[in-house]
Amino acid sequence: MTDSHTIQKEEQTPQSKGNEKKRMLSGIQPSGDLHLGNYLGAIKNWADRAEEYECYYFMADMHTITVRQEPAELRRRSLHQLAQYIACGLDPEKNVLFLQSHVPAHAQLSWVLNCYTMFGELSRMTQFKDKSSKYKDNINAGLFTYPVLMAADILLYQPDYVPVGDDQKQHVELTRDIAQRFNSIYGEVFTVPEPFISKSGARIYGLSSPTDKMSKSDPGGCVFIMDEPDVIMKKFKRAVTDSDTDNPVRYDRENKPGVANLMNIYSTLTGKSYEEIEQEFAGKGYGVFKPAVAETVIDTLKPVREEAERLMKDKEYLNRVYKDGAERAAYVANKTLRKVYKKVGFYQI
């Protein structure tokens, strides 16, 4: 998440960044194509931040293997997700884009931080409980300790902010606890990051299950960035609403979650308020409203999909982006790792 100015920045301590840009880091697992929830909730806003922040964004491929993956498919997704990131507006010249496994310091720092993380802290992680119940035949150690790897992902780059959804705040809080614990023993080694919850990001729910966050695990209710227009239209026409015929298009999250979700999507893409949307579709049923939302989504995603398809055909370019991103990320990460190794007493040549 940084650009060519990294070298100047890295000569400073975490607490003396001066007047330079604040630093931000985030990542998404390449466990499937990006979807509308990823785009509206996070990535759409990431592209605008490069002017204000020094930004690192990575594909968290090491996190994906807590669940069994098809190796060839994981490699494909890792490359295609980069293409989709760039197509969404993340300029590799202004942001550091890299693959987590290309920077060994992530795993190296993770082991050290494991030794400064309490068993009780990890056992309280909500996502571990959720995934343990979902993958009962594969409750592996990585599933238990992956919040420590996440802490290493973050602390390596000394970021000021970590963009997260509400469901990830617990992991950032654990990261802060680990950083403060380490700093209390060894001095100001890590910047203690703040969770950055964007006010402009939208929380998008599944079209077939509007009380649950949009997820790749529900393909029928999930709109993918790479979906063709006719597929998107079908998904929206099948979107769950309700049987209200008197005043169907009105925002009521508690009693009309499906309609509220569609209004949220439409509002986010058009900039219209809920009141304006209610007026626009007053006296009209879902047969008019749902296709209108679909058309707006189609128009928004079409240039993104077409650019991603073009980039996917240029593997040489994507490899160059990954190579450059890994080099720039490793410069920052290795500096932090060397400092940590020295603090804990590892002998260095």
Question: Which helix (H) or strand (E) segment is 24 a member of?
Answer: strand 22-28
Q: Which two tokens stand for residue 88?
A: 């969404």
d(CA 346, CA 214): 45
Strands (E), 199-337: none
Query: Is 213 annotated in the active site?
Result: yes
Other CB atoms within 10 Å distance of the CB of residue 45: 17
Domains of the chain, start order: 6-202+314-337 (3.40.50.620), 219-308 (1.10.240.10)
Question: Which helix (H) or strand (E) segment is 38 a member of?
Answer: helix 36-38
d(CA 269, CA 15): 38
Q: What is the pLDDT of residue 30?
A: 87
The active-site residue, picked from 131, 235, 256, 290, is: 131
Query: Is 335 annotated in the active site?
Result: no
Strands 161-163 and 95-99: unpaired
Contact between residue 125 and residue 147 where contact means Cβ atoms under 8 Å apart: yes
SS3 206: coil
Query: Is 216 annotated in the active site?
Result: yes
Q: Which two tokens stand for residue 242?
A: 């309700």
Contact between residue 55 and residue 95 where contact means Cβ atoms under 8 Å apart: yes
d(CA 346, CA 338): 9
Q: What is the pLDDT of residue 198?
A: 66
Q: Which residues pair with 57 in a beta bridge?
A: 26, 97
d(CA 6, CA 227): 37
d(CA 319, CA 307): 17
Helices (H), 98-245: 105-114, 119-123, 126-134, 141-155, 169-186, 229-237
| Cα→Cα distances 277→79, 128, 211, 248, 290, Å | 38, 39, 21, 12, 12
**Amino acid identity of 155?**
L
Handedness of CA 79, 83, 86, 91 (dihedral sign): positive
Residue 294 burial (10 A CB sphere; 0-12, 13-18, 19+):
buried
d(CA 88, CA 212): 24
Contact between residue 223 and residue 261 where contact means Cβ atoms under 8 Å apart: no
Q: What is the pLDDT of residue 130?
A: 72
Q: Which of 171, 167, 188 is nearest to 179 (CA)?
A: 188
List the chain pLDDT tens, one digit each, 349 residues.
333 332 223 333 444 444 588 999 988 888 778 899 989 988 887 778 888 999 999 999 999 998 889 999 999 999 999 999 999 999 999 999 999 999 999 999 999 999 999 999 998 888 777 777 676 777 888 888 999 999 999 999 999 999 876 667 788 999 999 999 999 999 999 999 998 876 656 789 999 999 999 988 888 899 999 999 999 999 999 999 998 888 899 999 999 999 999 999 999 999 999 999 999 999 899 999 999 999 999 999 999 999 999 999 999 999 999 999 999 999 999 999 999 999 999 998 8
The active-site residue, picked from 22, 213, 234, 339, is: 213
First-to-final CA distance of the chain: 29
Q: What is the pLDDT of residue 166?
A: 65
Strands (E), 63-122: 95-99
The active-site residue, picked from 17, 22, 216, 335, is: 216
CA angle, corner 147, sides to 176 and 41, nearest 5? 85
Torsion of CA 46, 47, 53, 55, to 10 degrees: 70
